[in-house]
Structure 1
């Protein structure tokens, strides 16, 4: 009876979570997946007999479930529905030619009747396969096909040299001697988990080496390139110095590392981030904070600060790319370290950190901007900052290459005067102040100019974003986690807006109006701060109560009133500046 009661309660919880997920609540969907990911992997592995292929199948099934959860009519039937998705994905993979498609694993090659091959020796096996393919190429009717197979064997022979002796031994035991992971663990006096780790790492290394060989990137084995390492010292950057907008926070820390200390208020003001707001039209997802033209905005901001820069960006093929609306114009790139490490080494060797978009930031963040300040070829790691880890963290070269959204920026040097003539940099403090105020007014009245092409994502920006946000609270189903980040970030940006306006080198009536705008932004920040206190930026599946949603909507209405007044004061201050000039 007790077991039946637990099962009924679990089903009721599933039903509630599915209903919330259908309304766009990603935390609810995430909790469902946490419950059943292991079970789904078991289904997929039993169908395919391959734990690694099962990983891919489950990943595909999760994406399809997320996209189609709204079509589930009977919300109490989530588990059978999800099981059917996993089964269909597994069947689809098997119909494509089994778990390996057109490529057979080494373990599926049949041993021909010959006594000249040592089937426990990898080099002997590959040598035999290469010779056999060469003979078949002369005898078969389709020599081109056999020649391609010969080249494949030769390539495999080459790339397997990337493995250590222990990795090769485990590889041979698993793929050639057909031992199970449990038998290999007993053979090498290791845990079964460690064997799986070795096999996973071996597959990854072979994949990367195969790409390198196809691009002629394999090094000459006679040459041993010098391994290098370099770690830069970053200056202290206490929390009160920075901002919740981690792009601007990292740029401030970056410039400080180059000996050019800038006030965060100034960077927030001249970049325009102090005055921005963008809300998803679907729900209170936090992605709107990141949706803008990264390449243009970052290089333009650095240029306005006197620096030329270079961007390295891309997205991996066949990978779910976070923030697709920002990354959709990035080129498709290869998941190999040679595509990114030379860029990192180049700048760090010059004593310059590299701006990096990190999709593995510590919780509660999902992904954030960081500074990369070191690399170590022996450890195969890079060192970088993390918004939640005071001492920073390390990423392996493999993790770096596998980041589905690749974006790095290096500073090349100061802007040359000849270049500045065609693209003048505004250096006069008063002119820069007017430019920042004009941009703040334009953005508030007309919104963001960046237009992405992803049809299923849309956003509202500027003052109108407040109405969209309020609508999510009053008539929609707000995403609590995203809302916590939105409130946390936008309360902080308005505080910086207020401080920046107080620092402007204005006089007379224009100064008075700017100070009134500053006070209004301060009040908007207070209202958004109250919202942030009600919905803190933490991971939770707890729903907002009706009372909390009503209170949050009220604070947003207050914040909009204050910010609308602030924009009006800025418009009058700009007019006053031109009257004075006459």
Structure 2
């Protein structure tokens, strides 16, 4: 596997960021041990007065500080002021930080406290206008407003905090302004139900409606106000971009679906196109399939439906793929994630637009179809992205609809932001061990978001075999598509392992590992052949009836043999990983 690029002496800390839909400005940062050690070193030097180290920390974390501030205040200009003040505080107080490994939580606390102090300072000027009476009355109205703003959980966490009441009043004011997007009866119903606190039956009686009609009207009003919030956030963001003199439009001309990169696996395909646009055209689709683990993965839904091949942890898979190819990347959302707040979208746009301006497209989910596609351009004047997937090229998508194309759309985008020198042998060991665990595993992800994932490994084979043995009623398209994806993956697995043994991967293999890798390659070639036969039984777009005894019985026998071969290949790769690890450590 090729490691692409190097840091070239750059002094940034490499990290991978996952921004989900929890709350504005929050993210989980996963750094390697090496990166964590580098940050620890910088903090230690900054504590001793090293201005250059402190400056590097600031450059690295400033955009995140802005996201934290925007999670509390609505104004981007005010958030900038909050960040500046927090930076001054951190410079004064960093010498008192006793645990350097707690630097990020410490910095987040400084920003949050400064943001709340800003709200407190402004509250004295606003209390009379907001009708505050200081006794906590009207909290139901504040909670209703926060529920619309998505901030109820935040308010509950701050129970007893007087600043929470101020924040609630500000949210109420915002919600009242959003009512302007409603007209006629819908606005009156929303005011009575959401802000007046009237029971649904009373609202129905007042307006001469059924209870069901009230629920429908309130739901419709919430949806309209949610859309208005996202549109308002985009407008504020665009105004900030204009003030900074940012380009109004850009199209990544190098971001195209090349014929050689066409694949059923659209994550790998779009990743390959992104790498080619970034200048790494020597990276093949086979290498991308291996780096992400897709070449060795199999997962399915219980009914063998068309969603099965996408039933895995998108964020973890893409993160591993970028890293093994020598790229740092940002990742927002994941399988089963929904975008929570407008500021989540604004935070993502900061990175996406910066990379698009540099000619680097981003990978996104459900940009047109329910698959991975490319964000390859933008137009601030029209407030639109230019997106491409297997079904559409150069289609326009509203800024506010990114991650929100339809009601149940999952929120996921990613873009590479830097390069580093990768340890190819370590990545290969990790890949082989991961593959062995995947095939032998329990079948379902242990992640907290496991409901979004499918059945994997040997357990996925069992679902196939049992479905075929029972001639169970199954969607023919789903069966054909699942088979095509599995066949494609195994072809890439065989090609990748064959390249390793021949030296094409650029990795010097130890002699003891070669026989095991060679054996695994032969097994994957056989497995690909078996899946090819299954594909002939159930060709796309429609194949034989999965409930038909003839094709179903033949498929079951083929897949029993394929599963046995997969388990043997997993053993061989685990053995190869052990040999590589011993050589690497000198044991």
**Match of residue 426 from structure 1:** 423
TM-score by length of 1: 0.54
Conserved 8 A contact 2:432-2:577: yes
Q: 1:276 aligns with which of 278, 286, 297?
A: 297
- For 1:413, the equivalent position in structure 2 comes to 418
Contact 2:312-2:452 within 8 A present in 1 as well = no
Partners of 1:480 and 1:543 within 8 A in 2:
yes
Cα distance change on mapping 1:482 and 1:152 into 2, 3 Å: same
Which residue number in structure 2 is paired with residue 399 of structure 1? 401
In structure 2, relative to structure 1, the CA distance for the partners of 1:224 and 1:534 (3 Å cut) is same
CA distances 1:400-454 after superposition (whole Å, capped 9, x unpaired) = 2523311111322224x8xxxxxxx4234xx544443333223222356831446
Q: 1:198 maps to which residue?
A: none
Alpha-carbon RMSD: 4.9
- For residues 152 and 461 of structure 1, the distance between their equivalents in structure 2, rounded to whole angstroms, comes to 44
1:58-69 to structure 2, matched below 5 A, reads: none
Cα distance in 2 between the residues matched to 1:156 and 1:579? 62
Residue 377 of structure 2 corresponds to: 374
Bigger RCO of structures 1 and 2 (CA < 8 A, at least 6 apart)? 2
2:569 corresponds in structure 1 to: 566
Decide whether aligned partners of structure 1 residues 378 and 465 sit closer, same or farther in structure 2, where only a CA change above 3 A counts.
same
**Residues 550, 239 of structure 1: alpha-carbon distance in 2 compared, 3 angstrom cutoff:** farther
Asked whether the equivalents of residues 230 and 376 of structure 1 are also in contact (C-alpha less than 8 Å), the reply is yes
C-alpha distance in structure 2 between counterparts of 1:458 and 1:401, whole Å: 19
Residue among 355, 359, 373 paired with 1:347: 355
Other-structure match for 1:514: 517
1:445 aligns with 2:440: yes
Bigger Cα displacement from structure 2, 507-516 vs 373-382: 507-516
Q: Deviations over 1:57-77 (max 9, x none)?
A: xxxxxxxxxxxxxxxxxxxxx
- From 548, 551, 567, the equivalent of 2:551 is 548
Q: Which runs of 5+ in 2 are unaligned?
A: 1-127, 132-136, 146-169, 189-219, 504-508
1:332 to 336, 340, 353: 340
Match of 1:387 in 2: 390
Could you say what secondary structure the match of 2:573 adopts? helix
Match of 2:497 among 501, 519, 522: 501
Given the superposition, is the C-alpha separation of residues 268 and 446 from structure 1 closer, same or farther in structure 2, using an over 3 Å criterion?
same
- Alpha carbons 1:308, 1:411 under 8 Å: kept: yes
Pair 1:352–1:215, CA change in 2 (3 A): closer
CA shift, 1:568, in A, is 4.1
CA contact (8 A) 1:359 1:405 kept: no
Q: Cα–Cα, structure 1 residues 272 and 175, in superposed 2: closer, same or farther, change >3 Å? A: closer
Partner residue of 1:461?
456
For 1:549 and 1:383, how far apart are their aligned partners in 2?
43
Query: How much does 1:368 deviate?
Result: 1.4
Deviations 1:37-66 (A, max 9, x none): xxxxxxxxxxxxxxxxxxxxxxxxxxxxxx
Distance in 1 (CA, whole Å) between partners of 2:312 and 2:231 is 34
Partner residue in 1 for 2:536: 533
Change (3 A) 1:411 1:219: closer
Tell me the distance in 2 between the aligned counterparts of 1:216 and 1:228. Answer: 14
Query: Alpha-carbon deviation of 1:541?
Result: 12
Cα-to-partner distance string for 1:189-243 (whole Å, 9 max, x where unaligned): xxxxxxxxxxxx999876533566699959999x999882111112554333454
Of the three residues 250, 254, 273, the one matched with 1:234 is 254
Shift of residue 369, structure 1, vs aligned partner: 1.4
The 3-state SS of whatever aligns with 1:347 is helix
Alignment match, 2:313: 293
Query: Deviation of residue 289 (structure 1)?
Result: 2.7
Please tell me whether Structure 1 or Structure 2 has the larger radius of gyration of its CA atoms. Answer: 1
Q: Give the 3 Å change call, closer, same or farther, for CA 359–452 of structure 1 in structure 2.
A: farther
Q: How does 1:101-250 map to 2 (within 5 A)?
A: 208-209=227-228, 228-250=248-270
2:473 aligns with 477
Give, in whole Å, the separation in 2 of the partners of 1:252 and 1:354: 11
CA distance in 2, matches of 1:474, 1:467: 10
C-alpha distance 455-295 of structure 1, shift in aligned 2 (>3 A): closer
Distance 2:238 2:253 in 1: 32
Q: Distance in 1 between matches of 2:357 and 2:416?
A: 12
Contact 1:155 / 1:213 at 8 angstroms: preserved in 2?
no
Query: Whole-Å Cα distance in 2 between the matches of residues 468 and 214 of structure 1?
Result: 46
Change in CA separation of 1:372 and 1:469 when aligned onto 2, cut-off 3 Å: same
What SS is found at the alignment partner of 1:383? strand
Task: Tell me the residue number matched to 2:286.
Answer: 265
SS at match of 1:408: strand
TM-score between the two structures when normalised by the length of structure 2: 0.54
**1:336–1:401 contact (8 Å) kept in structure 2:** no
Match of 1:364 in 2: none
C-alpha distance in structure 1 between counterparts of 2:544 and 2:138, whole Å: 58
Find the aligned partners of 1:157 and 1:567 in 2 and give their Cα distance.
60
Give the 3 Å change call, closer, same or farther, for CA 570–375 of structure 1 in structure 2.
same
Q: Which residue number corresponds to residue 61 of structure 1?
A: none
Is the 8 Å Cα contact of residues 311 and 455 (structure 2) preserved in structure 1? Answer: no
Measure the CA separation in 2 of the matches of 1:473 and 1:494: 21
User: Partner residue of 1:489?
Assistant: 485
Q: Is it true that 1:524 corresponds to 2:527 in the alignment?
A: yes
Render the CA deviation track for 1:140-181: whole Å, top value 9, x for unaligned.
xxx989x999x999979976999xxxxx9xx89x999xxxxx
Report which stretch shifted further, 234-243 or 153-162. 153-162
User: What whole-Å deviation, never above 9, does each CA across 1:351-401 have from its counterpart, x for those lacking one?
Assistant: 32112112631xxxxx21122110113333211220234x34322334325
Match of 1:413, SS state, is strand
Give the SS at the match of 2:463: helix
